Amino acid sequence: MLLVVDRIEEGRAVCLDQAKNQTILPLEQLPSGVKEGDWLRRTSRGWVVDAEETLRRRESNQELFHRLLKKKNRPE
């Protein structure tokens, strides 16, 4: 199972799966230092940050953002 940390509030991580279903997890169940935008993978040891997936998604989002900026700034 793969979840992204959408936000952290009141000692809990509000996470979304790829279908945008929400799951709320206590921070005590997550690796220390987890932050918004981190992708989590469930393993037999519990939740771990999937660093590769997190990086891939961040780069993809950044590319999309830059493409949208270019499109917005393009003269009509």
Domains of the chain in sequence order: 2-73 (2.40.50)
The percent of residues above 90 in pLDDT, for the chain, comes to 72
- pTM of this prediction exceeds 0.85: no
Strand 22-26 versus strand 12-16 pairing type:
antiparallel
Reported as a single tens digit per residue, the pLDDT across 18-44 is 999 999 999 999 999 999 999 999 999
Handedness of CA 63, 68, 69, 70 (dihedral sign): positive
Q: How confident is the model at residue 58 (pLDDT cuts 50, 70, 90)?
A: confident
The pLDDT value given to residue 16: 98
Tell whether the model's pLDDT for residue 46 goes beyond 80: yes
Tell whether the model's pLDDT for residue 69 goes beyond 90: no
